[in-house]
Amino acid sequence: MTTPATPSAPQPAGDDRKLVTVDETYLAPTFEDKLQLFWKNYGTAVLSLCGLVFVGILAKGGWDYLQAGKEVDVQKAYAAAATSDQLKTFAAAHAEHSLAGVAQLRLADEAYTAGKSADALAGYDKAFATIKTGPLAARAQLGRALAKVQAGKTADAITDLKQLVGDAAQFKGLRAEAAYHLTSLAAEAANGADVQKYSDQLMQLDPSGPWTQRALMLRATVPAPAAAVAAPAKTDAPAGGVQIKLPGK
């Protein structure tokens, strides 16, 4: 009697998937295969994105190139400004550029040298407003204070100079120069106490600097402040200088 064949397992209802026999020679897809598939599916999108990035880089490079060219043109224009009128024209044409502030500073110095204190004050204000920070901005502040002295506004100038001297964030050389001008103003007023005070500040700021040496020379020409009168020593003698001898003493 023949042995009946083993019945195959019944296939669940509704499962109509087709089973594929895996050949022993089947190989898993390699990295190259996956890469080719990726480029086939997404290559166009990637290339488009790369194109956009490249265009952006070119645009930025072009903008930077144009800006660099403009900066060179501004520098050349400033270098060519040799007269006062040319400096004024340059400052008006490039009002927002820092070199315009430098031009205003030069014009203010010219006005101060010529004794035109009002023009000097206006020029120093414009220079400081444009430069704003750094040694040239501090230089504009000092020039403005000296222009106030020239204009007869000595009290305002002293206030500005004191502020510069007391500002530890300022450059030492500028603070020393401001202290010297305070010493000079005190010497002109024959104020020996202030001459001594400001020259002492200079000694602390820059003991061997040129402004300190000049201040000490000024100090030597001004009488020293009067010394405090010493209080009279206490004695047992009564008023009038008469001393009474008591018995037993």
pLDDT digits (tens, 9 = 90+) for 132-153: 888 899 999 999 999 999 999 9
Q: What percent of the chain has pLDDT over 90?
A: 43
User: What's the angle, vertex CA 111, arms to CA 109 and CA 114, rounded to 5?
Assistant: 110
Structure-block tokens of residue 190: 């024959």
State the number of CA atoms in the 13 A half-sphere of 141 facing the CB.
23
Provide mean pLDDT across the span 67-83: 79
Level-2 CATH architecture, domain 83-152: Alpha Horseshoe (1.25)
What are the angstrom distances between the C-alpha of 238 and each of 231, 233, 235, 245? 17, 13, 8, 12
pLDDT reading at 204 higher than 90: yes
pLDDT digits (tens, 9 = 90+) for 220-237: 998 877 653 344 555 554
Least Cα distance to 182 among 138, 214, 140 occurs for: 214
Pairwise CA distance, residues 102 & 90, whole Å: 11
Pairwise CA distance, residues 95 & 69, whole Å: 18
DSSP structure string for 134-177: SHHHHHHHHHHHHHHHHTT-HHHHHHHHHHHHH-TTS-HHHHHH
Task: Quote the pLDDT of residue 237.
Answer: 47
Given pLDDT bands bounded at 50, 70 and 90, which one contains residue 71? confident
Looking at residue 199, its amino acid is: S
pLDDT reading at 3 higher than 90: no
Task: Quote the pLDDT of residue 246.
Answer: 40
Q: By the 8 A CB rule, do 215 and 202 touch?
A: yes
pLDDT digits (tens, 9 = 90+) for 10-48: 555 555 555 555 455 545 566 666 666 666 666 676 556
Q: What is the three-class DSSP state of 99?
A: helix
Task: Quote the pLDDT of residue 141.
Answer: 94
Ordered by start, the domain boundaries in the chain are 83-152, 153-223
Task: Quote the pLDDT of residue 194.
Answer: 95
CB atoms < 10 A from the CB of 247, how many? 4
Least Cα distance to 156 among 167, 164, 145, 166 occurs for: 145
